[in-house]
Structure 1
Amino acid sequence: MSQTRIYLPLTAAGLRALAKSREAGPAPVAAYAVTSRLERDNPADLAEEELEHAAFTEAAEAAFALQGNEIGKRVIAAADVDPASVEPDGTRDETSAVTVSEPVPLRRIVSFHLDETAGDTGLDDLLWYDATELDEVLRLL
């Protein structure tokens, strides 16, 4: 079965809720993924990996915006979900904005990305954690 990789920007509270309820939601869930709009707005010779990086970048920017006036660590969860549940979101400006029509179960999450230091904004500042390391990610918040 094919899957669509999505990126979920989360706050610290959102990550704690995910850990407790074992799903990101309720639906619809705002996320980022490779969309036809993202593909149209980039050179035709970009590899799928580069398009995914562009979607991840928009998710990282959204994670920063979710913090509001608080200085914290950005959190992005990467998940593989059923493509039928993912639709482009025309209500947001980002070219990779999508909505997921159902909550995203923790078992569908493949990795977490967390800033090394609160207030970081660069992509190089995001550390990668396997989904099995959720407790460690929570500890680092």
Structure 2
Amino acid sequence: MRVYVPTTVELLQTLRDKGFQPPVAAHAVTPAVREWYVEGDLEELEYAASDEAAEASLRLLAATGNAVPRRVVVAADVPDDAVRPSGLARSGIEVQVPVTLADVASVHVDDDEARADVRVAAQAVCAADAGDDGAAADVGQAAAHELLWYDVSELDDVLGLA
């Protein structure tokens, strides 16, 4: 199953060195996503799950405070039976096995132009979660930026982003 793991530039070093240890909070095409997006094909459903992971990356940035202001999503393939629903979001899951570099299909990261919007969105995401419309607009501004795609072989390049 393809999963989308929200993370930060700094935490990618952990992925490279020892992997993410379970339970790993992630996002995937769940039954709830399929029900919500009835008309979507698999690619559209995966995009929706990836978007929710990108928003979850904002929460990680908010929690760390001094991280590089870029949303980061790791796309990885894990066994179907290693995934459990988390109930935290429509696409929210927990991966019950380590997610290692060998599992990674690609890494998705904001470009330089998104940094200012991501910084503001990271500060606003908790208020947006609580229903603040202005904060939700700030989060939406960051979401308007498409994440760049990197092959796993380019991880060192991504780690060099600051």
- Whether 1:59 and 2:53 are equivalent positions in the alignment is yes
Separation (CA, whole Å) in 1 of partners of 2:47 and 2:109? 16
Deviation at 1:38, TM superposition (A): 1.1
Separation (CA, whole Å) in 2 of partners of 1:41 and 1:7? 18
Which runs of 5 or more residues in structure 2 are unaligned? 119-141
Percent sequence identity over aligned pairs: 40
After superposition, the C-alpha distances for 1:98-128 in whole angstroms (9 at most, x for unaligned) are: 0000111110101001111224423534111
Deviation at 1:77, TM superposition (A): 0.5
Of residues 25, 42, 49 in structure 2, which corresponds to 1:48? 42
Alignment-derived partner of residue 114 in structure 1:
109
Aligned 8 A contact 2:27 2:50 in 1:
yes
SS in 1 for 2:37: coil
Relative to the length of structure 2, the TM-score reads 0.77
- Name whichever structure is richer in strand by fraction: 1
Of residues 93, 104, 111 in structure 2, which corresponds to 1:98? 93
Alignment-derived partner of residue 158 in structure 2:
137
RMSD over aligned Cα, in angstroms?
A: 1.5
Query: Which runs of 4 or more aligned residues in structure 1 lie more than 6 Å from their structure 2 counterparts after TM superposition?
Result: none
Separation (CA, whole Å) in 1 of partners of 2:91 and 2:146? 21
- Name whichever structure is richer in helix by fraction: 2
Question: Comparing both chains, which one has the higher relative contact order based on Cα–Cα distances under 8 Å and sequence gaps of 6 or more?
Answer: 1
Amino acid at match of 2:103: R
Relative to the length of structure 1, the TM-score reads 0.87
